[in-house]
Amino acid sequence: MLLINTIKNKLRLSYRKKRWPGLIHAYKDYLPVTLNTPIVSLNEGNTPLILSNSISQLIGNGTKVYLKYDGLNPTGSFKDRGMTMAISKAKEEGQQAVICASTGNTSAAAAAYASRGGLKSYVLIPEGYVAQGKLAQALMYGAEIISIKGNFDKALEIVRELSTKYPIELVNSVNPYRIQGQKTAAFEIVDDLGHAPDWLCIPMGNAGNITAYWLGFQEYLKIKRNLKLPIMMGFQSEGSAPLVNNIIVENPETIATAIRIGNPVNREKAIQVKKESKGDFQSVTDEEIINAYKILAKEGVFCEPASAASVAGLIKNKNRIKKESTIVCVLTGNGLKDPDCAIKNNDAIFRKNVEPSLQDISKILGY
């Protein structure tokens, strides 16, 4: 008995000992950092790759569908992967302030990492279109917030201008260090699966993340960590689909506010990814997004609406998938970011104004 307990303790400690040091420390050989880089980290990365039984079954044909749940990063979205790099490099370069335009998650991550690194952060957000959780984060983490009467694209135009005029580092995904940090998600997927998936399904806003994943898969291919590359499937919302339709959308509208972007800054790079990977860009309706959002939640995975676009897109392509494929859907942000959306869009039984009586409640429960 004593021996068994000792073995159990050792096993548990061996799991615990692998304390994740954050993605820069874990992947520093693949990142543009030196011994002099002051690493600003919240131990981001190492997010779970969850096998979804219900979605695998829905797709059928022996397909395995995994969810890369990047909503479990320290500020609740994949933006932390890019921000640990961007803020560390800004600090290394002696910058004292950073700025970004944001639909919410970039501002939360920028504010958190800037504060941790002792830098000032300014964020421009589109008034009325930032989910509650994200706004709460930016307020708490200590950013100076400027809410503009305009959309994300206008905000980005302004911060780009400001960052060239004044000594403020721009930390939107035009910042090359963001892409470098974000590519580590592709490394993690390959490290977990032992190979690259056949398909990668991902939502697109500014299309920095699809660019970053592709870079990661390519770098791992070069050193033979994976021997093939995935088909990259990028999804946008029908009311905000500049990459699908190859246009600029003046007034993008969608329930998925994180991808409500009409003129993506990484347009050319994303088109290149699509071409090189033989992938596709497609749109999904808000209704399809909400449907996927509910399917995911029923399996215990709560993501934000923009993230559910990856699963909505996959479901649309059910008949195109070769049998026994391995597919990864990227869940970019946590469901708690946008509680209003969840409260408005669910099929829960929610009885209100119930008397606190054992008899009444037993009756309600059907006993």
Q: Which residues bind ligand PLP (CB under 6 A)?
A: 77, 79, 105, 173, 203-209, 258-259, 304, 306-307, 332-333
Beta strands 280-284 and 169-170, pairing class? unpaired
In the bound state with ligand PLP, the residue whose beta carbon lies nearer, of 65 and 101, is: 101
- Smallest distance from the beta carbon of 127 to ligand PLP, in angstroms? 18
By beta-carbon proximity to ligand PLP, the closer residue of 196 and 265 is: 265
Shortest distance (Å) from residue 209 CB to ligand PLP: 3
Q: Cβ of residue 107: shortest distance to ligand PLP, in angstroms? A: 10
Q: Which is nearer to ligand PLP, 197 or 305 (CB)?
A: 305
* Shortest Å distance, C-beta 169 to ligand PLP: 18
| Residue with the shortest CB distance to ligand PLP | 333
Query: Order of strands, edge to edge, in the sheet holding 97-101?
Result: 144-148, 120-126, 97-101, 169-170
Quote the least distance from Cβ 76 to ligand PLP, whole Å.
Answer: 9
Give 63 or 137: the residue with its C-beta nearer to ligand PLP: 137
Closest approach, Cβ 250 to ligand PLP, in A, equals 18
Instruction: Indicate the residue among 231 and 308 with the shorter CB distance to ligand PLP.
Output: 308
Q: Minimum CB separation from ligand PLP for residue 79, in Å?
A: 6
Tokens of 327: 């597919």
Question: Under 8 Å CB-to-CB from 82, ≥6 apart: which residues?
Answer: 109, 171, 173, 175, 177, 178, 179, 180, 181, 182, 208, 212
281 φ/ψ angles, rounded to the nearest 5 degrees: -115, 130
Strands (E), 20-82: 49-51, 64-69
Q: Which residue, 40 or 341, has its beta carbon nearer to ligand PLP?
A: 341
Shortest CA distance to 107 belongs to which of 89, 125, 126?
125
CB 90 within 8 A of CB 169: yes
Nearer to ligand PLP, 41 or 332 (CB): 332
- Residue 367, C-beta contacts closer than 8 angstroms, at least 6 positions apart: none
Nearer to ligand PLP, 98 or 259 (CB): 259
User: 324: alpha, beta or left, given left = phi > 0 and alpha = psi -120 to 50?
Assistant: left
Q: Are 319 and 59 in contact (CB under 8 A)?
A: no
> Of the two residues 205 and 313, which places its CB atom closer to ligand PLP in the complex?
205
Minimum CB separation of residue 69 from ligand PLP in Å reads 12
Looking from the CA of 174 toward its CB, the CA atoms found within 13 Å total 17
Please give the DSSP secondary-structure letter assigned to residue 244: H
Q: In angstroms, what is the minimal distance from the CB of 214 to ligand PLP?
A: 12
Residue 162, Cβ neighbours under 10 Å: how many? 15
Distances from the Cα of 234 to the Cα of 35, 76, 100, 103, 311, angstroms: 36, 21, 24, 19, 11
Tokens describing residue 334: 């946590």
Least separation, in Å, of the C-beta of 361 and ligand PLP?
38
Q: Which residues are CB-neighbours of 60 under 8 A, at least 6 positions away?
A: 318
Q: Give the nearer residue to ligand PLP in terms of CB position, either 24 or 331.
A: 331
Phi, psi values for residue 165, rounded to 5°: -85, -35
